[in-house]
Amino acid sequence: MTRELITNIGQLVTNAAPPPATCAERLGLLTGAAVLIEDGRITWAGRAADAPAPDPADTVTDVGGACVLPGFVDSHSHIVFGGDRAPEFEARMSGQAYSAGGIRSTVAATRATTDAELRHRLRGFVSEMAAQGTTTVEVKSGYGLSVADEERLVRLAAEVTPEVTFLGAHVVPAEFAGRADEYVDLVSGDMLDACAPYAKWIDVFCETGAFTVEQGRRVLEAGASRGLGARVHASQLAPGDGVRLAVDLDAASVDHCTFLTDADIAALAGSRTVATLLPGVEFSTRQPYPDARRMIDAGVTVALASDCNPGSSFTSSLPFCIAVAVRDMGMTPAEAVWSATAGGAAALRRSDVGRIVPGARADLVELRADSYVHLAYRPGVPLVHRVWKDGVVVANTP
Q: Which does 235 bind (CB under 5 to 8 A by kind): ligand NIG, Fe ion, none?
A: none
Q: Is 307 in the site for ligand NIG (CB under 6 A)?
A: yes
CA 298, 301, 305, 311 dihedral sign is negative
Closest-approach residue to Fe ion (CB): 307
Q: Which does 305 bind (CB under 5 to 8 A by kind): Fe ion, ligand NIG, none?
A: none
- Read off the amino acid at residue 10: G
366-386 burial, b if ≥16 CB within 10 A, otherwise e? bbbbeebbbbbeeeeeebbbb
Q: Is 307 in the site for Fe ion (CB under 5 A)?
A: yes
Q: Which does 358 bind (CB under 5 to 8 A by kind): ligand NIG, Fe ion, none?
A: none
Among 7, 215, 236, 273, binds ligand NIG (CB under 6 A): 236
Query: Which span (57-65, 192-200, 308-316, 354-362) binds ligand NIG, by CB under 6 A?
Result: 308-316
CA 116, 203, 335, 9 dihedral sign is negative
Query: Which span (22-30, 101-109, 157-165, 337-345) binds ligand NIG, by CB under 6 A?
Result: 101-109
Query: Which span (4-12, 122-130, 290-298, 310-318) binds ligand NIG, by CB under 6 A?
Result: 310-318
Q: Which does 339 bind (CB under 5 to 8 A by kind): ligand NIG, Fe ion, none?
A: none
CA 265, 18, 254, 92 dihedral sign is positive
Q: Is 198 in the site for ligand NIG (CB under 6 A)?
A: no
Q: Is 102 in the site for ligand NIG (CB under 6 A)?
A: yes
CA distance 97 to 88: 10
Residues 52-91 that bind ligand NIG (CB under 6 A): 78
Side by side, the strands of the sheet bearing 201-206 are 139-140, 164-169, 201-206, 229-234, 253-256, 274-277, 302-304
Q: Outline where DSSP puts E strands in the chain.
A: 3-12, 30-38, 41-47, 59-62, 67-70, 72-74, 134-137, 139-140, 164-169, 201-206, 229-234, 253-256, 274-277, 302-304, 364-367, 384-389, 392-396
SS3 category, 20 = coil
Q: Min. distance of Cβ 13 from ligand NIG in angstroms?
A: 28
Cα angle: 156, vertex 158, 162; to 5 degrees: 160
Q: Is beta strand 274-277 parallel, antiparallel or unpaired with respect to 364-367?
A: unpaired
Closest-approach residue to ligand NIG (CB): 311
CA atoms within 13 A on the CB side of 230: 29
Q: Is 92 in the site for ligand NIG (CB under 6 A)?
A: no
Closest CB to ligand NIG among 229 and 279? 279
Q: Is 113 in the site for ligand NIG (CB under 6 A)?
A: no
Closest CB to Fe ion among 170 and 389? 170
Query: Which span (145-153, 238-246, 283-291, 307-315) binds Fe ion, by CB under 5 A?
Result: 307-315
**Length of the chain in terms of residues written:** 398
Residues 275-294 that bind ligand NIG (CB under 6 A): 281
> What are the residues binding Fe ion (CB under 5 A)?
307
> What are the residues binding ligand NIG (CB under 6 A)?
78, 102-103, 106, 205, 233, 236, 281, 307, 309-312
